[in-house]
Structure 1
Amino acid sequence: MSAMDDLLAFQRQTEALSSVAERLGWDQETVMPRGATEQRSEEMAAMEEVLHERRTDPRIGEWLAAANPSTETERRIAELIERDFTRASRVPARLATEIAKTTSLAQGIWAEARANEAPEDFLPMLDKVLSLKREEAAALADGGDLYDALLDDYEPDTTAAEIAALFDAMRPRLVALREDVLGAERQPGKLDGHFPQETQLRLARLCASGFGYDWTRGRLDLAVHPFSSGRWQDSRITTRVVETDPFNCLYSTIHEVGHSSYEQGIDDDYAFTPLGRGVSMGVHESQSRIYENQMGRGRAFAGWLFHRMSDAFDGLNIGDADAFYATVNRVTPGYIRTEADEVQYNLHIMLRFDLERDLIAGRLDAGDLVEAWNARFLKDFGVVVDRPSNGLLQDVHWSVGLFGYFPTYALGNVYAGCLNTAMRAAVPDLDEHLAQGDAGPGVEWLRENLQRHGGLMPPRRLIEEATGAKIGPEPLLDYLEEKFGRIYGL
């Protein structure tokens, strides 16, 4: 066997073990017994120790030096393996194992603290996670910016300074649109009623099927915080149910289908290689957001959903499909990021981005986070946080050490804006299909132009090749102003 063959064979096993570790995480957040947290933390730590040893195996460096990639695919695989090898080699095995163990414990403590509205039960553990992530960032940064080092795990070749500049460019138009919308004379009605869990889940499965979810390679479960997990032949989704708010369940499901469909849509030839997964979280979010918003919250699909929900729940307090479409896109100054409307969603991300940069830099400590969060939320949204589960405790990310992840949600929205413009030009009859509950033509366009490539291209190049245009916030902002201007009569 050649050095390249040896490298690919070794990587195949590493990817398989990584999938097993990911499934342990899925199990913990869905069906694991509550009393198994400590055992799971040991299991996760053991898996991370094995994976870290493989990712830093000296033979990888030898194989890379001797390999002679003969195709673009092999060259990209070698590039990604070398990148991971370099990063993993900078992090001591002790630290990688401790992070895995601590974040597994922290996730359970966060869930309990959230349920009990008790941030004081979580913050000491968050302080431990934060200390470990600062240490990891210092090892990865090699003298550079700590936050950039963590961000690189989720959006390679992007810096916090670039994201801050992007947010500065977006914020004025978003704030102006929000003020116009909230001050408009025309205001959509609110959906009221009781919506039983099983009926919501039946509709959620129907929506997932309409967006092309492959049930032979996936499943839907309940979780405290909706997420997707897995790749290739096993890509699972979760949702949550609030019996007074069916949109929470339905649109969380569509959102996670976007993530999972990306994984299901990657070329089978890339399985068990670094190309066999989404290339970045920003690109991943572009899929979940375009499924959920530009297609799922559009007038065509909302009209279809109105009739399905009216039948399923024996009528709604919303009179017709046009009013229902406005309700689906109703702008309110709510607390919860995952339930936020398109106008305000990115403002939620900007808050988290600024706070976590301060946390990693040491300008903010975990013990001061509740006060800092509540003060910033009041400043940005004009609302006093009423309870911790609507504030600091609403998101799982920091408990599991995902510092640097949050800004990729907003990047995903920007990417989705660019993709939507190109998709609508290429599939002019898309709304006719969406009006029948069928997102198939849009999904097919995304699969052909983006999803099938997996990690073959760097994120920005992938988006620009898919759209034929440079990346910028203008398509997203123009779309938002046009859509909400019509709904609110601006």
Structure 2
Amino acid sequence: MSAFNELMGFTRQTQALAQVSGRLGWDQETTMPRGAAEQRAEEMAAMETVLHARRVDPQVGDWLSAVDETALDAVGKAQIRHIRRSYERTAKIPAKLAEDLARLTSRAQGQWAEARAADDFAAFVPVLEQIVTLKREEAAALADGGDLYDALLDDYEPGAKAADLEAMFTALRPGLVGLRAAALSQPAPEGVQGTFDEPAQMKLTRKLAKTFGYDFTHGRVDKAVHPFSSGSGLDVRITTRTNPTDPFNCFYSTIHEVGHACYEQNIDRAYLLTPLGGGVSMGVHESQSRIYENQLGRSRAFTGWLYGQMRDAFGEFGIADEDAFYRAVNRLQNGFIRTEADEVQYNLHVMLRFDLERALIAGDLAVRDLETAWNDRFAADFGFAVDKASHGCLQDVHWSVGLFGYFPTYSLGNVYAGCLHQALRNDVPDLDAALARGDTTPATDWLRDKVQVHGGLYEPRDVITRACGTAPSEAPLLSYLDQKFRDIYGL
């Protein structure tokens, strides 16, 4: 066992350094002064150089060869599976490429934010062209002659293939398009009215975070341009954003990120700073954020409780009763922004990005043509035109930081969430009574025990299959959406 113990000690140090690197990224998005961007890019590149060197250290290969896996328990075997996969994958990427990507994407975040604020896609084209070029190089190094996009997708959803996701999305699309058209043909529910004090929004959003189980002794909530969750184990931080005329933007962004954060906070502490100590994939991660945000947070039972909380915080805001509030929270409306999209239309936003980024990586779409391609596809899918770049191809941070292959995991996460919700309802038939009191613990405890505590112990699809008793399928999500929105719109 000495080789295994030495390998795990080395790996824990690497994981700790990776957490430090992640904290640099969190700081860059929240509190770093704008003038520090160039220096931060060098700091991030230096950290990536150190991490890359450790991940491909020949000694790791020696330890892996020396470990007797037959002597390991299930946890030990899972640790080795992750370490070997990371070692073999990282060893394929040249150190200079890893360093160049880290430096470029750190710098690009600020350039993206400036271009987004100015609605100037042309200003972002040169750096995005560089990112796509480097990501294609990385994909080629990883793919061993296989599909470039699959090689990048494997970073976020191990074992997934773009062709399989395309088939799943193709099965989803007709039902979503039909339900969208039927609902939007009906009168829209009334929305909230007036302005909502932003400090009061932040006060209530922190209460919501606690309500869904977020542990503030191991986390914090800050504001950022794009909400996100960062960290794992004992330090898991989230961000949100406020809009004085749209408090739901703040509240549901927070609940969404709390789903991510609670996954990380609830992983078995025995796995801390090991490969098992983080979420197993972005699809499984997204299943937690989406079920927290939607199936729980937007349920009729929970919105009844939230209605009272908002009246206490803001007074009257143009909604007559709990039922009208439930309809307002869940109303379908045309919009440009993925993170603000309703449950029915959200996946259409993701499918657009999935197809465009596959084309970019395949070399079938030039970066300079991306804005036009985006706008044409958006008009075809949603029936109206993009009015400015910040409402179109500049709205998301992902491509600026090199996260190609990430977007499809959002829709995969929705599919997983649909499966988990069906199983949760079967196991906890009186869930609504608790949610109506603002008590989410029957649901969050179930998710903790069925999904979160395991961290990276099982493969992604196995996590969902073990929790639900059946393999993942898009059918539960479609059934849930159809039933919910036909009820809301009287279809």
Assess same fold via TM > 0.5.
yes
Contact 1:254–1:292 (CA under 8 A) maintained in structure 2? yes
Q: How many percent identity over aligned positions?
A: 61
The equivalent position to 1:149 in structure 2, one of 151, 161, 165, is 151
Name the SS for the 1:417 alignment partner. helix
Between the aligned partners of 1:432 and 1:238, the Cα distance in structure 2 is 30
1:5-20 matches, within 5 Å, as 5-20=5-20
Q: Could you tell me how far apart the structure 2 residues matched to 1:175 and 1:315 are?
A: 35
Q: What's the counterpart of residue 225 of structure 2?
A: 224
Alignment of structure 1 residues 373-452 onto 2, 5 Å: 373-452=374-453
Matches within 5 A, 1:96-245: 96-184=98-186, 186-245=187-246
- Asked whether the 8 Å contact 1:232–1:264 carries over to 2, the reply is yes
Residue type matched to 1:36 in 2?
Answer: A
| Residue 58 (structure 1) aligns with | 58
Secondary structure at the aligned position of 1:393 is classed as coil
- 2:41 counterpart residue number: 41
SS at match of 1:392: coil
Q: Paired residue for 1:322? A: 323
Q: Tell me the distance in 1 between the aligned counterparts of 2:2 and 2:450.
A: 33
Q: Deviations over 1:406-462 (max 9, x none)?
A: 000000000000000111111122111111112111000000011000000000011
- Distance in 2 between residues matched to 1:289 and 1:82, nearest whole Å: 31
2 CA distance for matches of 1:272 and 1:3? 18
TM-score, normalised to structure 2's length? 0.99
What per-residue deviation string (whole Å, max 9, x for no partner) do you get for residues 326-348 of structure 1?
Answer: 01001012100000000000000
**Where does residue 248 of structure 1 map in the other structure?**
249
Q: For the Cα contact (< 8 Å) 1:77–1:275, is it kept in 2?
A: yes
Residue-by-residue CA offset, 1:266-308 (whole Å, 9 max, x unaligned): 0000011100000000000000000000000000111111111
1:271 maps to 2:272: yes
Q: Normalised by the size of structure 1, how large is the TM-score?
A: 0.99
Residue 39 of structure 1 aligns to a residue whose secondary structure is helix
Counterpart of 1:385 in 2: which secondary structure? coil
**1:249 Cα offset (Å):** 0.3
Distance (Å, rounded) in 1 between the aligned partners of 2:36 and 2:432: 47
Tell me how far apart the structure 2 counterparts of residues 9 and 314 of structure 1 sit (CA, whole Å): 55
Deviates more, 1:421-430 or 1:234-243: 421-430
Structure 1 counterpart of 2:4: 4
The secondary structure found in structure 2 opposite 1:344 is helix
Q: CA deviation at 1:187?
A: 2.4
Question: What is the DSSP-based 3-state SS (H/G/I as helix, E as strand, rest coil) of the residue aligned with 2:227?
Answer: coil
Structure 2 gap segments, 5+ residues each: none
SS at match of 1:275: helix
CA contact (8 A) 1:207 1:437 kept: no
Query: Structure 1 runs of 4+ off > 3 angstroms?
Result: none
SS across alignment from 2:276 = coil
The letter of the residue matching 1:278 is: G
| Per-residue deviation, residues 90-115 of structure 1 (Å, max 9, x unmatched) | 00000000000000000010011111
Gapped regions of structure 1 (runs ≥ 5): none
Where 1:457 maps in the other structure, the secondary structure is: coil
Number of aligned residues: 489
Partner of 2:357: 356
Matched residue SS, 2:236:
strand
1:40-89 Cα distance to aligned partner (Å, 9 max, x none): 00000000000000000011111111102311111110011000001100
Q: Distance in 2 between matches of 1:6 and 1:232?
A: 22
Q: Render the CA deviation track for 1:250-269: whole Å, top value 9, x for unaligned.
A: 00000000000000000000
